[in-house]
Amino acid sequence: MTESIDVGTASAASGAVADGWLPVTGLPTGGEERLPITVVNGAAAGPTLWVTGDEATGVAVAQDVARTAREHADEFVGALVVVHVVSPAGLRRNERTTYYGDEDPNRYFPDLERDSSRPPETQERIDARLFEAVSDSADLLVDCHTAQIGSVPFAIRDRVLYGRNRTAEEAESLATDLDRMVEAFGLPVLTEYPAGEYLDQSLQRSTAGAALNTAGIPAFTAELGGHSVVEEDARAAGVAGTFAVAVEFGLLDSVPDGVARPGVGVPDAPVEFPVRRFVGPRSETAGLVRHRVEAGDAVSEGEVVADVCSPHGEVLDTVESAYDGYVIGRREGIAVYEGGPVASMAVRDDGDLVVPREEDGE
Express each pLDDT in 261-286 by its tens digit. Answer: 999 899 999 999 999 999 999 999 99
State what percent of residues in the chain have pLDDT above 70: 97
Class of residue 270 by CB neighbours under 10 A (exposed 0-12, middle 13-18, buried 19+): middle
Class of residue 337 by CB neighbours under 10 A (exposed 0-12, middle 13-18, buried 19+): exposed
- Residues 137-164, mean pLDDT to the nearest whole number: 95
State what percent of residues in the chain have pLDDT above 90: 86
Does residue 112 surpass a pLDDT of 80? no
> Please, which pLDDT band fits residue 358 given cuts at 50, 70 and 90?
confident
- Domain 5-248 listed as CATH 3.40.50.720: no
Does residue 139 surpass a pLDDT of 90? yes
pLDDT digits (tens, 9 = 90+) for 318-331: 999 999 999 999 99
Does residue 2 surpass a pLDDT of 70? no
3-state SS assignment for residue 290: strand
Q: Mean pLDDT over all residues of the chain? A: 94
Helices (H), the chain: 55-71, 88-92, 122-137, 168-185, 195-200, 207-213, 232-248
Q: What pLDDT was estimated at residue 115? A: 63
Contacts for 311 with CB less than 8 Å, ≥ 6 apart: 288
- What residue ranges of the chain are covered by domains with CATH 3.40.630.10? 5-248
Does residue 349 surpass a pLDDT of 50? yes
Does residue 361 surpass a pLDDT of 50? no
CA distance 201 to 329: 20
CA distance 354 to 334: 38
- Residues 215-229, mean pLDDT to the nearest whole number: 95
Q: What pLDDT was estimated at residue 104? A: 86
Q: What pLDDT was estimated at residue 362? A: 38
pLDDT digits (tens, 9 = 90+) for 49-77: 999 999 999 999 999 999 999 999 999 99
Q: What pLDDT was estimated at residue 55? A: 92
Domain range 275-348, CATH class: mainly beta
Does residue 1 surpass a pLDDT of 60? no
Q: What pLDDT was estimated at residue 360? A: 42
CA distance 124 to 100: 10
Are 354 and 177 in contact by the 8 Å Cβ rule? The answer is no
Per-residue DSSP letters for 45-70? EEEEEEEEE-HHHHHHHHHHHHHHHH
- What residue ranges of the chain are covered by domains with CATH 2.40.50.100? 275-348
Which of 172, 111, 105 has the alpha carbon at shortest distance from 352?
172
> Please, which pLDDT band fits residue 339 given cuts at 50, 70 and 90?
very high
Does residue 103 surpass a pLDDT of 90? no
Contacts for 256 with CB less than 8 Å, ≥ 6 apart: 68, 71, 72, 75, 243
Does residue 22 surpass a pLDDT of 50? yes
180: number of Cβ within 10 Å:
15
- Residues 331-359, mean pLDDT to the nearest whole number: 93
Amino acid, res. 129 = R
- Residues 108-116, mean pLDDT to the nearest whole number: 77
